Every structure is written in structure tokens, then in C-alpha cells.
């Protein structure tokens, strides 16, 4: 491979888009060799793919897939046909990006389904394909392909194979490869540049999606949705505060990208996160005859994101969700990770689901229209991320607080991107709060108790969390885990951003009662997220009740 050029051709895409058959034709035309990563896995293991899955599990298969990819990418002048799920691993994407021009073969789910059925008919002796071994093969294809689509969109070149012959697809691949060589000579391939646009990528066991953070990024909404394979109608859910500011612009952006657009505006505030409001949105979607291929766009803060996400997760058993957060908390916290819910009169977020969006677009510029109190509230979750995960982020917050108060473009984008990446890292490792993700609840046990005790009307979420963080830090100190210096440093940082560290006129019994209904209670014991130092957490369910009560009493008497 010559300096400044890109050598190999790497074919990615869903099953039955034509990677193997077209790859052979491309290799023939170029005089190269075709290598199939699945064939390489079989060679390495000495047994069929189906046996690897059955005997060793998918995790072992993915490990061997990575090894096979690394092996073939050391070669020169090869066309590499990859498995449909190979893009899910960030390390694989990096290897492919450095190895050659990454070309995605695309096809509609109905085309894939038709090809799958024909293959099964033509080869009745082969084992039942996993995609067919379900009650609704087409639905399974749509769901699985949709979850991978944002990563397929990172390719340098895309060829839609539905109505093309093998010869025509091969010609398009070679054309894309030639274009990719030129771009590579100018300083890197396109997929790497697209990945650099994303602040982070959330990758769970079943889903993967990018989070874009930047100034003026709202203009990219339609384009990014198309890149993610979304189509049909876009149903925008927003609130009475945000929609007048951005509703018309979002409609125009989406229509320009080819989407049919309709919108629903709910009252601003936590009271909209209710079953009643959700039913109102269901009625609207039913009236518009919304389909499973259509999308719900959550345009607004955390309340809108939770509410619209809950509706998307449950309507028609799940339709695509796009998060467009306009609040600080939304940008790096509530819009990322797939926790969607509505409130119950006895507790916040008690009725909900884990449902990941297809993508998140956070436009930093929208923060300039955010009411000052809501902006201040948002900094609490940034500070939380620093306290539980990143001492360097805490130092940055301390050093650049003034610029962040002014929403300086460079430092605000940097801080929001880093905070979003922290959330993405945690969620990618633990999607459903089975372990690590629980640390994101630092400050939330007391915070949710305060919100419930005041009927969600007195505190903004970040304000309640800030007070809850102080309570968690004080508890950490009193059970011998944390130094008084870290408690002082946290208090100073919260106050630096204008956040409360105590309150008054709240009933202690109401707070304690609400905490017992918290989702983090197990075996009737509250699981506390506590600190041992900045960036170091521990989960404890043995905190003495009198310690908790005394700390909360102090918080409420200040």
C-alpha cells in the first residue's frame, strides 16, 4: 500500500445484501483475492459457525471474529467480506478504517427477507437460518438492522443493492474504492472522520448509536436520521417552552430531508410525565395511522425525552426514537442510555423501560435560549459525572467555571462531550443497571425523595440532585469512606455553579417515605451510591438508618 493511499476493500452490511457474491466479482475485476471473515473463523476454529455459537457462545464467536479481521487486514490487495454484526465492536471499526475503504452494501428489509426465503428454498438441506427461526422474520430483520444502521452509515461509500445486478453493484464498489483512495490521500478515510463527528457511540449488547454534540448541530438532524436508515413520517413531541423556539426550524429541516412531519406539544414541566399525557400522544399517533417504520423525535429537555421515549418504546411495541435534547441535563444524561418513563403519584419514573434511541443530536447553541435556572440545574449532573468517574473533568470544571457560565463555545462543547462520553461508557458496559450503571444514581436517592416530597413542583431535577449529592457525600464521610476535604471540594464546586447544597421547609418524614419507594431499593434496603474519593464509588446497602436520618435532617434545617 503506497503512502497516502488506502489499499483494501472492506464490505460491511446486513446479511443478504450481497457481500460474498459481489465480493467475488469485485476481486475478479481487480485481480485480487476475496477473503470472507466467517471462512477465516471456520479455519481458525476447525468447526462451523453454528457449532461455535452452540458450543462456545456468541462472546467467543465475537472474539474469534476480531482475531480473523485483524489477520486478514494485514494482507494487501484483498476484498474482505465481513459478518453483519462486525461493526458493533469499536475496535473492529478502527481496524477496518485503517485497513482500506469501507463500503456498505444496503438493501431494504423486505428485499433481505425475500432473499432469505429464496435461499432457504434453494438450499433446503441447510440448517434453519437464525433470522427465520422466529415468529416474525421480517420484524426481526427490521429491528436488528435498525440497531446497526448508525454504524453502517459510517462507511466511506454505500451501495443500494435492491435493484442492481451483481455486475452493477461491483462497478459501484470499485467507483467508491477509487473515490476513497483519493480521500485517503487527503488525510484519512471518511468513516474515521464521521466517527470523529460523534462525541461518543453507545454500544450495548443489542443496540449501537452515535451521540453528536456541537454548535449548530440541529441543522444536521434530517441528514443524520437518513444516515441512520430512518424513513417515513417524523412525529415531533415537544413542550410549550421549546416548541415555539425550534419547532418551525425542525419541521423545515426534516421536510428538506424528505420526512413527512407532524408535531404534538405538551405543557412544560414534570406534570406532563404522566400516563394521561402518554395516552394523549398515543391517540394522536393512532389518529395519524403511525407505522413501525416511522419515528418519534423528542425535542426538549429531560421531561420530553422521558415521555416521548416511553411512548416510542410502547407504541406498536416499539418504533424508532431520536433524542434532540435542548437542556443541559438532556444532552449528556437523560437523552443517553435509554431510560424512559412516566411518573407515578407515589414516585418518579416508576413506570418505564430501557429503550435506546437511534441517535442523539445535542446542539450546544440551543442552550443560549435556556432559562438561567434550568441551565444552572443542568450543571449538577456534569458535576455528578466528575465526582463518580473523572477527576480531570472536575479540575476542568473548577478551572473553567467562568467560561462555562458564559456558554463559551469551545469549553462548553468540550465539557458536554466529555460528560456524554462518560454516560456512554457506563451505559455501554451496563445497559440495564445490573452493576456499574448504578453509580449514575449518585445523589439521586435523596434527590428523588425531595422531588416526591414536594410533589415535583418545587425543585428542578438538578437542584434536587445537587442537594442529594451533598447528602451522599456527608453519608460517605460519616461511615468512614470519604475525607472531609472531598466533601468540602464538592460543596464548593456546586456553589460555584449556583446550585443549592441544602434546603428548608421540607417534611423529613415525607422525604424518608419517598426514598423507601425508590427504584434502587432491594430487599427493602436502600442501595446507596457513595464515594471513597473523586472518581471512585462504592455501592452500600448497610448504611445505618440513624446516619441517613441525621444527614437528611441537617440538609433540611439549613
**Catalytic pick from 385, 423, 519, 527?**
423
* Residues 6 or more apart whose Cβ sits within 8 Å of residue 141: 14, 109, 112, 113, 116, 131
Neighbour tally for 268: CB within 10 Å: 17
Query: Residue 411 belongs to what H/E stretch?
Result: helix 409-429
Q: Which residue has the cell 436520618?
A: 549
Contact assessment for residue 530 and residue 476, using Cβ atoms and an 8 Å cutoff: yes
**Catalytic pick from 65, 381, 431, 451?**
381
What length does the chain have? Answer: 558
Which among 356, 361, 351 has a CA at the least distance from the CA of 330?
361
**Catalytic pick from 108, 358, 384, 461?**
461
339 catalytic? Reply is yes
> 49-56 and 37-45 are packed helices; what angle lies between their axes, rounded to 10 degrees?
60
Ramachandran angles phi, psi of 384, nearest 5°: -60, -50
Strands (DSSP E) contained in 183-283 are 198-203, 208-214, 233-239, 260-266
**Catalytic pick from 145, 148, 339, 519?**
339
**Catalytic pick from 444, 519, 520, 527?**
444
Largest Cα separation within the chain, whole Å, is: 80
- Report residue 530 as a C-alpha cell: 457513595
437 catalytic? Reply is yes
How would you classify the pairing of strands 359-363 and 208-214? parallel
What's the half-sphere exposure (Cβ side, CA atoms, 13 Å) at 458?
17
106 catalytic? Reply is no
Q: How far apart are CA 318 and CA 290, in angstroms?
A: 12
Q: How far apart are CA 523 and CA 518, in angstroms?
A: 12
Q: How far apart are CA 376 and CA 328, in angstroms?
A: 9
Ramachandran angles phi, psi of 307, nearest 5°: -65, -55
**Catalytic pick from 40, 433, 451, 463?**
433
* Residues 6 or more apart whose Cβ sits within 8 Å of residue 155: 12, 102, 103, 104, 190, 191
384 catalytic? Reply is no
Q: How far apart are CA 313 and CA 290, in angstroms?
A: 14
Q: How far apart are CA 379 and CA 390, in angstroms?
A: 15
| DSSP secondary structure code for residue 317 in this structure | G
Q: Which residue has the cell 422466529?
A: 134
- Read out DSSP for 108-155? -HHHHHHHHHHHHHH-TTSPPPTTTSSS-HHHHHHHHHHHHHHHHTTS
406 catalytic? Reply is no
**Catalytic pick from 113, 441, 519, 520?**
441
* Burial category of 383 from C-beta neighbours within 10 Å (exposed 0-12, middle 13-18, buried 19 and up): buried
Q: How far apart are CA 126 and CA 135, in angstroms?
A: 19
**Catalytic pick from 437, 491, 519, 527?**
437
**Catalytic pick from 389, 448, 519, 520?**
448
SS3 432: coil
74 catalytic? Reply is no
385 catalytic? Reply is no
Q: Which residue has the cell 434545617?
A: 557
**Catalytic pick from 59, 74, 289, 317?**
317
98 catalytic? Reply is no
Which residues are marked as active site? 317, 339, 381, 423, 433, 437, 441, 444, 448, 461
Amino acid at each position: 500500500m503506497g503512502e497516502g493511499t488506502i489499499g483494501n476493500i472492506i464490505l460491511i452490511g446486513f446479511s443478504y445484501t450481497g457481500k460474498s457474491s459481489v465480493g467475488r466479482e469485485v476481486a475478479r475485476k481487480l485481480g485480487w483475492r476475496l477473503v470472507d471473515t466467517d471462512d477465516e473463523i471456520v479455519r481458525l476454529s476447525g468447526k462451523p459457525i453454528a457449532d461455535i455459537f452452540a458450543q462456545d457462545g456468541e462472546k467467543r464467536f465475537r472474539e474469534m471474529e476480531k482475531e480473523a479481521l485483524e489477520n486478514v487486514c494485514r494482507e494487501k490487495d484483498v476484498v474482505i467480506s465481513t459478518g453483519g454484526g462486525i461493526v458493533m465492536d469499536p475496535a473492529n471499526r478502527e481496524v477496518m478504517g485503517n485497513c482500506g475503504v469501507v463500503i456498505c452494501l444496503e438493501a431494504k428489509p423486505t428485499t433481505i427477507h425475500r432473499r432469505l426465503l429464496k435461499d432457504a428454498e434453494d438450499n433446503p438441506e441447510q440448517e434453519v437460518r437464525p433470522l427465520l427461526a422466529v415468529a416474525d422474520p421480517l420484524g426481526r430483520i427490521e429491528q436488528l438492522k435498525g440497531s446497526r444502521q448508525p454504524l453502517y452509515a459510517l462507511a466511506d461509500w454505500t451501495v443500494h443493492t435492491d435493484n442492481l445486478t451483481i455486475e452493477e453493484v461491483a462497478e459501484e464498489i470499485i467507483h467508491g474504492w477509487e473515490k476513497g483512495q483519493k480521500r485517503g490521500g487527503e488525510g484519512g478515510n471518511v468513516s474515521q472522520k464521521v466517527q470523529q463527528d460523534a462525541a461518543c457511540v453507545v454500544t450495548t449488547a443489542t443496540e449501537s448509536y452515535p451521540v453528536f454534540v456541537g454548535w449548530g448541530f440541529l441543522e444536521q438532524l434530517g441528514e443524520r436520521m437518513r444516515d441512520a436508515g430512518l424513513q417515513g413520517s417524523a412525529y415531533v413531541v415537544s413542550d410549550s417552552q421549546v416548541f415555539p423556539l425550534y419547532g418551525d426550524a425542525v419541521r423545515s429541516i426534516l421536510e428538506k430531508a424528505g420526512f413527512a412531519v407532524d408535531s404534538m406539544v405538551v405543557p412544560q414541566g414534570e406534570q406532563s410525565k404522566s400516563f394521561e399525557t402518554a395516552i394523549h400522544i398515543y391517540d394522536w399517533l393512532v389518529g395519524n395511522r403511525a407505522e413501525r417504520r416511522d419515528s418519534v423525535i423528542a425535542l426538549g429537555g429531560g421531561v420530553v425525552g422521558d415521555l416521548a421515549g416511553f411512548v416510542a418504546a410502547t407504541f406498536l411495541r416499539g418504533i424508532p426514537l431520536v433524542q434532540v435534547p435542548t437542556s443541559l441535563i438532556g444532552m449528556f444524561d437523560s437523552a443517553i442510555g435509554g431510560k424512559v418513563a412516566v411518573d407515578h403519584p407515589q414516585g418518579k419514573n416508576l413506570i418505564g423501560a430501557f429503550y435506546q434511541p437511534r441517535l442523539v443530536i445535542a446542539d450546544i447553541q440551543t442552550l443560549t435560549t435556556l432559562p438561567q435556572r434550568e441551565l444552572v440545574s443542568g450543571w449538577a449532573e456534569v458535576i455528578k459525572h466528575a465526582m463518580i468517574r473523572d477527576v480531570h473533568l472536575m479540575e476542568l470544571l473548577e478551572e473553567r467555571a467562568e467560561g462555562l457560565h458564559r456558554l463559551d463555545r469551545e469549553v462548553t462543547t468540550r465539557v458536554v462531550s466529555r460528560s456524554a462520553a462518560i454516560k456512554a461508557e457506563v451505559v455501554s458496559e451496563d445497559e440495564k443497571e445490573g452493576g456499574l450503571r448504578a453509580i449514575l444514581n449518585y445523589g439521586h436517592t435523596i434527590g428523588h425523595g425531595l422531588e416526591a416530597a414536594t410533589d415535583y413542583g418545587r425543585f428542578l431535577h438538578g437542584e434536587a440532585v445537587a442537594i442529594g449529592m451533598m447528602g451522599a457525600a456527608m453519608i460517605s464521610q460519616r461511615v468512614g469512606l470519604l475525607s472531609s476535604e472531598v466533601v468540602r471540594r464538592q460543596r464548593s464546586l456546586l456553589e460555584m455553579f449556583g446550585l443549592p447544597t441544602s434546603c428548608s421547609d421540607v417534611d423529613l418524614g415525607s422525604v424518608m417515605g419517598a426514598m423507601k419507594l425508590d427504584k434502587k431499593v432491594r430487599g427493602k434496603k436502600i442501595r446507596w451510591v457513595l464515594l471513597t474519593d473523586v472518581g471512585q464509588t462504592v455501592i452500600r446497602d448497610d448504611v445505618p438508618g440513624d446516619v441517613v436520618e441525621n444527614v437528611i435532617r441537617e440538609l433540611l434545617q439549613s
